[in-house]
């Protein structure tokens, strides 16, 4: 379409040299939305129970925290739909296992054996989910009993304080200066989700680079509107 070229005659396709969001503990922003979950990660391996469930909505930062814990604990990953003997062996030998994204179909027998192995072998298991275990629809009574004994920590959707800090940091990681009022505008209009914040910042950076312009409130409004509409084209 020529319309895009006419509207932005100097637009160029930018090289995607952006750095991904930091995954280190030092780069976490602590607010009321995630304080309990971060404290849990910080306390490892001194957990009260060998099995912990981190529950919260999509975009709340569960995967970010799980990645930090995985690195600190040298944890192995297990697919919740098919938990293999390798993961069970790790837990049985005192190791750590991450089961990320427990949704829908669950290997109940495998999860039961994994939890038992951790309990008996001194291992640790971290499960993440959008829902609390009571809503998983577990049919195996023994597994339901084990899950009731697990520590459950909730992580809430990001609040304004967290989103503001995250958006500011994401721009700083890209060495992009954005006025505070533009950051506030972004935070007040995007979905309460860290993944949405990352998506919007990336698309704003790309649009600004291609148009050779600063990130303004007007550009933010355009890109957020495109994200809300599910448009993949940035209008570069």
Residue-wise pLDDT for 12-66, tens only, equals 333 333 344 455 777 778 888 999 999 999 999 999 999 999 999 988 889 889 9
State phi, psi for 190 to the nearest 5 degrees.
-95, 165
pLDDT digits (tens, 9 = 90+) for 120-159: 999 999 999 999 999 999 999 999 999 999 999 999 998 8
pLDDT band at 74 (very low <50, low <70, confident <90, very high): very high
Tokens encoding 194? 């860290």
DSSP string, 200-215: HHHHHHHHHHHHT---
Q: Does the predicted TM-score (pTM) go above 0.85?
A: no
DSSP string, 119-184: HHHT-EEEEEESS-GGGS----HHHHHHHHTSEEEE-PPP-HHHHHHHHHHHHHHTT----HHHHH
CATH topology of domain 26-154: Rossmann fold (3.40.50)
Domain assignments of the chain as residue spans, ordered by start: 26-154, 158-228
Tokens encoding 119? 């309990």
Stretch (H or E) spanning 97: strand 96-99
> What is the CATH architecture assignment of 158-228?
Orthogonal Bundle (1.10)
Residues with Cβ within 8 Å of residue 68, at least 6 apart in sequence? 23, 24, 25, 28, 41
* Cα–Cα distance measured from residue 91 to residue 123, given in angstroms and rounded to the nearest whole number: 5
Give start and end residues of each alpha helix (H) in 56-96: 62-73, 85-92
Residues with Cβ within 8 Å of residue 35, at least 6 apart in sequence? none
Tokens encoding 15? 């090289």
């Amino acid at each position: 379409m020529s319309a895009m070229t006419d509207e932005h005659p100097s637009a160029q396709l930018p090289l995607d040299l952006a750095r991904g969001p930091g995954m280190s503990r030092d780069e976490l922003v602590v607010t009321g939305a995630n304080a309990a979950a971060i404290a849990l990660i910080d306390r490892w391996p001194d957990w009260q129970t060998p099995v912990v469930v981190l529950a919260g909505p999509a975009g709340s930062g569960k995967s970010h925290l799980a990645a930090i814990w995985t690195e600190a604990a040298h944890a192995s990953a297990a697919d919740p739909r098919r938990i293999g003997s390798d993961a069970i062996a790790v837990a049985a030998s005192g190791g750590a296992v991450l089961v990320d994204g427990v949704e829908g179909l669950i290997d109940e027998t495998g999860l039961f054996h994994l939890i038992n192995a951790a309990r008996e072998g001194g291992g640790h298991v971290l499960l993440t989910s959008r829902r609390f275990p009571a809503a998983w629809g577990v049919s195996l009574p023994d597994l339901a009993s084990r899950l009731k004994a697990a520590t459950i920590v909730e992580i809430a959707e990001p609040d304004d304080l967290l989103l503001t800090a995250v958006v500011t940091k994401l721009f700083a990681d890209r060495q992009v200066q954005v006025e505070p009022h533009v950051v506030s505008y972004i935070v007040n209009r995007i979905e309460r989700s860290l993944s949405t914040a990352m998506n919007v910042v990336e698309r704003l950076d790309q649009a600004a680079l291609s148009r050779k312009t600063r990130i303004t409130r007007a550009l933010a409004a355009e890109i957020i509107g495109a994200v809300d509409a599910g448009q993949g084209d940035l209008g570069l």
